[in-house]
Amino acid sequence: MHRLELSLPGQVPFAAGGFDAMGPMSRAAFPHRHTFYEIVHVVGGSGVHVLDLERYEVRPPQLGVILPGQVHHWEGVRGLEGSLVLFTPEFLVGGGGDEGLLRRLGERPWVGLDGAAHERTSSLMAELAEEYRCGADGFAGVLRSLLHVLLVRAARLPGAPARPAPPQGVAGEFLRLAGWAGVGGLSVRECAVRLGVSPGHLAEAVRAATGRTPAALLREARTREAQRLLFSTELSVRQVAARVGFADPAYFCRFFRRETGRSPGDFRKHHDLRGPSIEDGSPAA
């Protein structure tokens, strides 16, 4: 798990620049994940980018989005060139609105660019890198504004998900909580308590906004996190079970098989690209 520790005034992390400027981790060939967002603009090279087990062929120019917690790595890359922007949710100027744009972009995380879109994206990425590098008065505000423009324009790209605005109110708060709750093993009732509503009200609000139940969304979050841990770490099945909130490994194995059609062991054998668990204080992606 990599954290972004370069801080702007007020302890708000952000970094921007080319692959070389971001360091060797920007082209890491082993599965890893971040606590921050990454936007990558690929302008040259070949190979494959793997994101949460999905494989995306590198065919520049392309724009990619990696969300916090997603597992990714590069395979067989040659001559990979481009630029990256790294930032935490606290940096976003639009708050929940920009986070909603990022969630939408994360549903289609690897998009090809036509000539005009490539030119506009190149200009924005260059401005972000230059403003970050110079650090002149008011640069944090300029960076936030440029990043907001980049997200809005990315959401307009052909192939980017065309979705309605993200749910607001109780449903929106639950969706933001669900990712963490799925990892920690919180129940629907415990989520409702944290949000200050009854379980019935929570279920009604979430179903109206998403068409799904809170329980189904929590199961999906726990399954996704278990897959990431099995795929990208050396943790035992018992340890993975504990990380996603199961005290009984046998029950976790039954749950995992029901949700994925495979046992945890079979899933790991099929996707065996595990690496050692690491902590890294650099800004590299």
Let me know whether 15 and 128 are in one domain: yes
Let me know whether 141 and 176 are in one domain: no
In a domain, 59, yes or no: yes
Q: How sure is the predictor about 239, in pLDDT bands with cuts at 50, 70 and 90? A: very high
**Domain termination residue (choose one: 96, 130, 156):** 156
Which is it for the CA torsion 86, 89, 94, 99, positive or negative?
positive
Average confidence score pLDDT of the chain? 84
Which range in 62-66, 97-101, 165-169, 219-223 is most confidently predicted, on average pLDDT?
A: 62-66
Let me know whether 212 and 141 are in one domain: no
Exposure string (b/e) for 93-123, b if CB count within 10 Å is 16 or more? Answer: beebebbbbbbbbbeebbbebeeebbeebbe
Q: Is the pLDDT of residue 183 over 70?
A: no
75 pairs with which residues across the strands?
48
Cβ neighbours, 10 Å, residue 235? 15
The C-alpha atoms of residue 180 and residue 176 are separated, in whole angstroms, by: 8
Let me know whether 225 and 87 are in one domain: no
User: For position 77, what pLDDT does the model report?
Assistant: 95
85 pairs with which residues across the strands?
16, 39
In a domain, 283, yes or no: no
- Which helix (H) or strand (E) element contains residue 32? strand 32-33
Span 36-65, pLDDT tens digits: 999 999 999 999 999 988 899 999 999 999
Q: Is the pLDDT of residue 89 over 90?
A: no
**Domain termination residue (choose one: 87, 122, 156):** 156
**Domain termination residue (choose one: 98, 132, 156):** 156
Please indicate whether residue 254 or residue 136 has the higher confidence score (pLDDT). Answer: 254
Q: Is the pLDDT of residue 204 over 60?
A: yes
In a domain, 25, yes or no: yes
Q: Is the pLDDT of residue 33 over 60?
A: yes
Q: How sure is the predictor about 3, in pLDDT bands with cuts at 50, 70 and 90? A: low
In a domain, 277, yes or no: no
Let me know whether 130 and 185 are in one domain: no
Q: How sure is the predictor about 166, in pLDDT bands with cuts at 50, 70 and 90? A: low
Mean local confidence (pLDDT), 256-269: 89
Per the structure, the count of domains in the chain is 2
Q: Which domain holds residue 105?
A: 7-156
**Please, where are the H alpha helices in the chain?**
19-22, 96-107, 115-134, 139-156, 169-184, 188-195, 199-210, 214-232, 237-243, 249-260, 264-270
Least confident of 4-13, 66-75, 92-101, 251-260: 4-13
Let me know whether 68 and 206 are in one domain: no
Let me know whether 149 and 195 are in one domain: no
**Residue 93: what are its φ and ψ, rounded to 5°?**
-75, -30
**Please, where are the H alpha helices in 157-187?**
169-184
In a domain, 281, yes or no: no
Mean local confidence (pLDDT), 162-184: 70
Let me know whether 151 and 223 are in one domain: no
User: For position 85, what pLDDT does the model report?
Assistant: 96
In a domain, 112, yes or no: yes
* CATH code at position 17: 2.60.120.280
Let me know whether 149 and 177 are in one domain: no
* CATH code at position 174: 1.10.10.60
Q: Among 103, 246, 249, which Cα is nearest to 176's?
A: 103
The C-alpha atoms of residue 255 and residue 25 are separated, in whole angstroms, by: 34
Let me know whether 13 and 132 are in one domain: yes
Let me know whether 46 and 107 are in one domain: yes
In a domain, 78, yes or no: yes
Let me know whether 148 and 218 are in one domain: no
In a domain, 31, yes or no: yes
